[in-house]
Amino acid sequence: MPSSYLHCFFFVALLLSEVCGNRVGDSGRYPLVVSTWPFVEAVRAAWTAVDHGLSAVDAVVEGCSACEELRCDGTVGPGGSPDENGETTIDALVMDGVMMEVGAVAAMKYVKDGIKAAKLVMQHTQHTLLVGEPASAFAISMGLPGPTNLSSPESINKWTKWKEDLCQPNFRKNVLSVDSCGPYHPKDTANSCAQANPVGTIESSPARVGLHSHDTIAMAVIDKMGFIAVGTSTNGAAFKIPGRVGDGPIAGSSAYADNDVGACGATGDGDVMMRFLPCYQVVESMRRGMEPKLAAEDAILRIAQKYPDFVGALFAVNKEGEHAGACHGWTFQYSVRSMEMEEVEVFTVRPSTVSMST
């Protein structure tokens, strides 16, 4: 059953249960909005939407759209992190925790509205994830503006400087290049190439995602009826190899929601994090009774055990509205607006520690 029908069904059930004195949802704990980083305007936009009665899904779309329009941190929406070719692409996801419906786009070009494109995938297809230029074509065919050039003066400057720095750092490994900007050859098979070009073989230095830029908005909303949704939007990693898809559009990695349990949102080195599905782990841990702070810490530590240099963070929120964060390799902040708050509050989480809700 499509979730819009389900929402209607639950709304009728809500009215009936109110009449019978057995009211569900609207317990005074909801609505609630949680977002990665101090993306305060995005949280305000989602709060306004959900406080006016919009669904969790629609509020997530409003919140992430606000971040895309504001180009939060210069790494969400158009004009952000360029890839090796200087192009900006968008990864985005939306997930409805009622029926576990997901829509996502990855490496999408020419369309600036990532989260709206993700919602179109969820609402108007039986698929979960569309990628690349076909994702752009789909989004435009369904009414989103485009094709649009996603570059900005800032992204072009950033890319020009990177080229001047001999394309360092970058995400290549075990490669040789006659020029450090490529073309690249696998190290094992590069002997023939190196012999053909014996001068100037260069090994790339590794790039790290997100250490100096906070690339992803991941947002969770619990609406007035207690329904939970999550969404993400990001340009991914600066100077990524064209075609790279990060954790942003991967359900269970960048975000996850289950109405029976709660939600999670993540940010950081998506190439590593998506190997662990940390948000899926967080929600499953909470399902088994773990508090949000322990669930968040456990998921982060599990990655850190295998990748001690990894940089990443996540927040966890359960259906009671308790929230917490955990991080590794950097200090993390997440933003919250709840019924008890007059304004959006920003929580700071230090590596290897957690910040708990009251």
Say if residues 169 and 204 touch (Cβ distance below 8 Å). Answer: yes
| Minimum CB–partner distance for residue 161 and ligand SD4 (Å) | 20
Q: Which stretch binds ligand SD4 (CB under 6 A): 47-55, 104-112, 245-253, 349-357?
A: 245-253
Cβ nearer to ligand SD4, comparing 169 with 287: 169
Nearer to ligand SD4, 2 or 206 (CB): 206
- The single residue of 36, 75, 216, 232 carrying the catalytic annotation is 216
103 counts as binding ligand SD4 under rule CB under 6 A: no
Which listed residue (44, 71, 109, 214) binds ligand SD4 by CB under 6 A?
214
Distance of alpha carbon 292 from the chain centroid? 19
Identity of the residue numbered 129:
L
Amino acid symbol at 357: S
Cis bond before residue 78 (omega within 30° of 0) = no
Closest CA to 239 of 266, 267, 276, 211: 211
User: How far is C-alpha 191 from the geometric centre of its chain's CA atoms?
Assistant: 40
Smallest separation (angstroms) from ligand SD4 to the CB of 9: 35
- The two tokens of residue 263 are 């939600």
Question: Which among 115, 112, 111 is positioned nearest to 103, based on CA atoms?
Answer: 115
> According to CB under 6 A, which residues from 250 to 289 bind ligand SD4?
267-270
Asked if residue 237 binds ligand SD4 (CB under 6 A), the reply is yes
- Write down the least CB distance from residue 297 to ligand SD4, Å: 19
Q: Tell me if 265 sits within 8 A of 230, measured CB to CB.
A: yes
Q: Which stretch binds ligand SD4 (CB under 6 A): 165-173, 206-214, 283-291, 332-340?
A: 206-214
Nearest to 310 by CA among 331, 328, 326: 328
Feature table: binding site for substrate:
244-247, 267-270
Footprint on this chain of ligand SD4 (rule: CB under 6 A): 209-210, 214-216, 234, 236-237, 246-248, 267-270
